[in-house]
Amino acid sequence: MLSPVDVPARAGQGVAPFDGAPRAFVGAAIGGADWTLYVLDDPARVYVAQRNLLTQLGLPLAASIVVAGLLAALLASAWLLLMRGRERLAAVNVLLRELNGEVHGLNRALAHNVSELRALNGELSAFAYSVSHDLRAPLRAIDGFSQILLEDKAPQLGEDGRQHLERVRAAATRMGLLIDDLLLLSRITRDEMTMGNVDLTAVARSVAEELRSRDPRRSVEFETNGALPAKGDERLLRVALTNLLANSWKFTRDRQPARISFGGAVRDGEAMFFVKDNGVGFDMRYAQKLFGAFQRLHSASEFEGTGIGLATVQRIVHRHGGRVWAESELDKGTTFYFTLPPADAVRPEGGVG
């Protein structure tokens, strides 16, 4: 128990005797109470006085003081977090303004590129029109007059002359085919697509029958595995399958028997199809050249063609969001693979899911 302190009544501060010695004090009246809190200059005694004070005030008030301290600490932490949050928000706003500026710049660049692309498409259309009308007329004239010379002046031309004119006519025919393939490639790039479920097995069988009718003397075994349908533009997919199957038909002409197969399955959420043959094959070191326009792995004297067909196939598959590649081995055949979006599910009552 502390010794009593002789403090003048209502004194706020001063010196008073305490345990036989003068001590400095500071006092403060406690509102609603009949007593005053005095703090002495001796820390040990202050501590004891505080402890006695808490004893006198009781546990509820002490708990209130502790809770108030915790609340103050929480408020201080919340304020600190708020300040840090404001700083981070300011940094995020700066970043967003920078990103918005970049997005606006990209949008302007995209609009410019779209405008240029439209202009290029217009030029391409004009070029296609010019090719289809202006270049065909001279080719028809070359072929026509060569045929007239062969028919009317054959004796005077001699064997060498006739052979030269036959080469001229063959070149004109080849040039016409090349123009047709280039125009087709151009249209494939520009034409709008009509998407829907396509039964590629039925399309492949139809193309195979067309090839048989053009070359009825060939004996070719054609097989399918009941491939699943895919989603795409049926007209364009028919063009792609025509090029792939015609390719296999061409490169198996020296095989007895010639075998061509078409099949497919759904893997990892995409429909994958293949066209396989037992033809002459090619060296895989040159596989990267397959799908380039005018790229040929065999000479024209061995196998006819313009070098546009596989480029057309790749363009069609890419427009459908798919991939196309080939695997081959010399003298053992080739397999072309391509992927397409899977067909939409069809409900039993005929509705599309």
CB 352 within 8 A of CB 229: no
What's the CA gap between 26 and 40, in Å, rounded?
Answer: 7
Q: With 90 as the cut, is the pLDDT of residue 124 above it?
A: no
Confidence of residue 347 (pLDDT cuts 50, 70, 90): very low
Q: Cα angle at 46 between 43 and 50, to 5 degrees?
A: 140
Q: What is the mean pLDDT of residues 219-234?
A: 85
Nearest to 290 by CA among 266, 269, 317: 317
What's the CA gap between 307 and 300, in Å, rounded?
Answer: 10
Lowest mean pLDDT among 45-59, 155-169, 183-197, 208-222: 45-59
What's the CA gap between 261 and 238, in Å, rounded?
Answer: 16
Q: What is the mean pLDDT of residues 292-307?
A: 61
Does an H or E element contain 194, and which? none
pTM of the model: 0.56
Q: With 80 as the cut, is the pLDDT of residue 208 above it?
A: yes
> What's the pLDDT score for residue 204?
92
> What's the pLDDT score for residue 348?
43
Token pair recorded at residue 190: 């520009």
Bridging pattern class, strands 220-224 and 258-267: parallel
Q: What is the mean pLDDT of residues 92-107?
A: 88
- Within 10 angstroms of residue 246's Cβ, the number of other Cβ atoms is 17
Q: Cα angle at 181 between 258 and 284, to 5 degrees?
A: 50
Domains of the chain and CATH, by start: 13-57 (no CATH), 77-190 (1.10.287), 195-340 (3.30.565.10)
β-partners of residue 273 are 264, 338
Lowest mean pLDDT among 123-132, 193-202, 287-296, 297-306: 297-306
Q: What is the mean pLDDT of residues 5-31?
A: 57
Confidence of residue 245 (pLDDT cuts 50, 70, 90): very high
**Residue 106, CA atoms < 13 Å, CB-side half-sphere:** 6
- Residues of the chain with pLDDT > 90, as a percent, come to 12
Q: Which residues contact 291 (CB under 8 A, 6 or more apart)?
A: 310, 311, 313, 314, 324
**CA separation (Å) from 11 to 37, 38, 311?**
11, 10, 105
Bridging pattern class, strands 195-198 and 230-233: antiparallel
More confident of the two residues 59 and 235: 235
- Residues of the chain with pLDDT > 70, as a percent, come to 70
**Residue 245, CA atoms < 13 Å, CB-side half-sphere:** 28
For the chain, the average pLDDT equals: 76
What's the CA gap between 235 and 154, in Å, rounded?
Answer: 45
Bridging pattern class, strands 220-224 and 230-233: unpaired
Check residue 346 and report its DSSP letter.
Answer: B
Confidence of residue 335 (pLDDT cuts 50, 70, 90): very high
- Within 10 angstroms of residue 298's Cβ, the number of other Cβ atoms is 13
Q: What is the mean pLDDT of residues 1-7?
A: 47
Q: What are phi and psi of 291, to 5 degrees?
A: -100, 10
Q: Is 347 helix (H, G, I), strand (E, B) or coil?
A: coil
Token pair recorded at residue 17: 């005797």
Nearest to 227 by CA among 195, 197, 262: 262
Q: With 90 as the cut, is the pLDDT of residue 178 above it?
A: no
More confident of the two residues 113 and 127: 113
β-partners of residue 231 are 197
- Within 10 angstroms of residue 235's Cβ, the number of other Cβ atoms is 13
Q: With 50 as the cut, is the pLDDT of residue 352 above it?
A: no
Confidence of residue 353 (pLDDT cuts 50, 70, 90): very low
- Within 10 angstroms of residue 260's Cβ, the number of other Cβ atoms is 26
Q: Cα angle at 309 between 308 and 310, to 5 degrees?
A: 100
CB 272 within 8 A of CB 264: yes
Instruction: Choose the most confident range, by mean pLDDT, from 107-111, 251-255, 294-298, 333-337.
Output: 333-337
Check residue 320 and report its DSSP letter.
Answer: T
More confident of the two residues 229 and 293: 229
